[in-house]
Amino acid sequence: MTPRKLFVAGASGVTGKQVVSLATEQGLQVLAHRRPKPGRTADARSAVFELSDGEALRAALTGCTTVLQLIGTIRERFAQGDSYESSDIGTTRALVEAARKAGADHFVLLSAMGAGLPLGAYLRAKASAEALVREGGVPWTIFRPSAFISETQKPPPGFAALTRMFGLRRFEPIPIEALARALVRSARERTPLETVVEGSALFALASPASR
């Protein structure tokens, strides 16, 4: 298989930081994309530009085998100018088109549980992003985790155990570190292709023993 080189969109986010760190630890080539801000500069391992800059995006994707689209927003950020259309859908559209033109052979999208039956603006945006990826002409893998567990995000006490008890693994919250392991493994091994990963399949892919 072609040696992997990962382009990580959303590298400044909680999940993105974990993915970049883990992929680098595993010896993968990584190009971390970050939006411009004062004091932020590009180097050999990072690219700094707006994804709406098509020329810069095409140049950055040259030689990349895999695009990981980890960008998304929440309503709390709308006051800062974000929207589902711009952050979830628009960036995915730009990345898919550029990945196809650059010859990337794998597109990994971080979506959300419920996107298959979209209720509400958030899940409708995720479903639209998924449709762009499915129809984009680049072999894809879509991840649909439930809630995240991180230093700042915690599920209600006992919730994870309850989901396991009743066989509702797809609803079980996933630690950010485990999600990053699954994303990096998929990018590293280019698998599973044309597949939506959720529930038990996601936790299996995230298992440390599967590395």
Question: Per-residue pLDDT tens for 65-90?
Answer: 999 999 987 666 666 767 888 889 99
Closest CA to 110 of 135, 83, 129: 129
Asked if the model's pLDDT at residue 164 lies above 60, the reply is no
pTM exceeds 0.75: yes
Q: What is the pLDDT averaged over residues 137-154?
A: 83
Packed helices 54-61 and 91-102: angle between N→C axes, nearest 10 degrees: 50
Query: What pLDDT does residue 109 have?
Result: 98
133 occurs within a structural domain: yes
Q: Residue 156: pLDDT band by 50, 70, 90 thresholds?
A: low
One-letter amino acid at 35 equals: R
In sequence order, what E strands does 49-133 have?
A: 66-69, 106-110
205 occurs within a structural domain: no
Query: What pLDDT does residue 118 have?
Result: 74
Structural domain harbouring 100: 5-146+176-198
Question: Per-residue pLDDT tens for 26-45?
Answer: 999 999 999 998 888 888 89
Are 207 and 175 spatial neighbours (Cβ–Cβ below 8 Å)?
no
138 occurs within a structural domain: yes
Q: Residue 151: pLDDT band by 50, 70, 90 thresholds?
A: low
152 occurs within a structural domain: no
211 occurs within a structural domain: no
163 occurs within a structural domain: no
Kindly state the helix (H) or strand (E) to which residue 46 belongs, with its residue range.
strand 46-48
**How many domains would you assign to the chain?**
1
Provide the percentage of residues in the chain whose pLDDT is more than 70: 85
Query: What pLDDT does residue 158 have?
Result: 55
Q: How far apart are CA 7 and CA 107, in angstroms?
A: 10
207 occurs within a structural domain: no
CATH number of the domain enclosing 88 = 3.40.50.720
Query: What pLDDT does residue 131 have?
Result: 97
Q: How far apart are CA 116 and CA 112, in angstroms?
A: 9
Q: Residue 97: pLDDT band by 50, 70, 90 thresholds?
A: very high
79 occurs within a structural domain: yes
